[in-house]
Amino acid sequence: MLSTAYEPLTLGPITLPNRFIKAGANENMSKRGRPTRAMRMHHEALIKGGVGMTTMAYVAVEKDGRTLPDQVWIHDEAMADLRAVTDAVHGAGGKIAAQITHGGSFVTGVFVPRRLQSSVSGFNPAGLLRGNMFRRAMNEKDMARMVDLFVNAAERCFDAGFDAVEIHMGHGYLLNQFLSPLDNNRKDEYGGSAENRARFPARVLKAVKAAVGDRMAVIAKINVADGRSKGAQLEDGIVTAKVLEAAGADMLVLSGGRNVESGWFTFGSNMNLDAMLRVMGKWSLSGMAIASTQATVPKIEFKELYFWEYSTKIREAVNLPLAYLGGIKSADNVAQCMAAGFEAVQVARAFLREPDLVNRWREEGGESLCDNCNSCVAYIYHPAGTWCIHQPANKLEDNQILASAG
Asked if 345 contacts 357 with a C-beta cutoff of 8 angstroms, the reply is no
Which residue in 173, 190, 306, 310 is the catalytic one?
A: 173
Residue 259: exposed, middle, or buried by beta-carbon count in 10 A (0-12, 13-18, 19+)?
middle
Q: Would you call 173 a catalytic residue per the annotation?
A: yes
Distance (Å, rounded) from C-alpha 65 to C-alpha 100? 10
Higher pLDDT pick, 38 / 282: 38
Higher pLDDT pick, 296 / 397: 397
Distance (Å, rounded) from C-alpha 98 to C-alpha 68? 17
N- to C-terminal Cα distance for the chain? 43
What's the chain's Rg over C-alpha atoms?
Answer: 19
Distance (Å, rounded) from C-alpha 262 to C-alpha 267? 9
Q: Is 368 in a helix, a strand, or coil? A: coil
Nearest to 365 by CA among 404, 392, 331, 334: 331
pLDDT at 109: 86
* pLDDT at residue 134 is higher than 60: yes
Distance (Å, rounded) from C-alpha 83 to C-alpha 40? 10
Cβ-proximal residues to 230 (8 Å cutoff; 6+ apart), any chain = 181, 182
- The reply to whether the predicted model has a pTM over 0.75 is yes
Q: Write the pLDDT tens digit of every residue in 149-187.
A: 999 999 999 999 999 999 999 999 999 999 999 999 999
What kind of fold does domain 2-405 have according to CATH? TIM Barrel (3.20.20)
pLDDT band at 406 (very low <50, low <70, confident <90, very high): very low
pLDDT at 5: 98
Domain edges within the chain: 2-405
Q: Write the pLDDT tens digit of every residue in 52-100.
A: 999 999 999 999 999 999 999 999 999 999 999 999 999 999 999 999 9
pLDDT at 26: 95
Q: Write the pLDDT tens digit of every residue in 245-271.
A: 999 999 999 999 999 899 999 999 998
Name the strand (E) or helix (H) holding 49: none
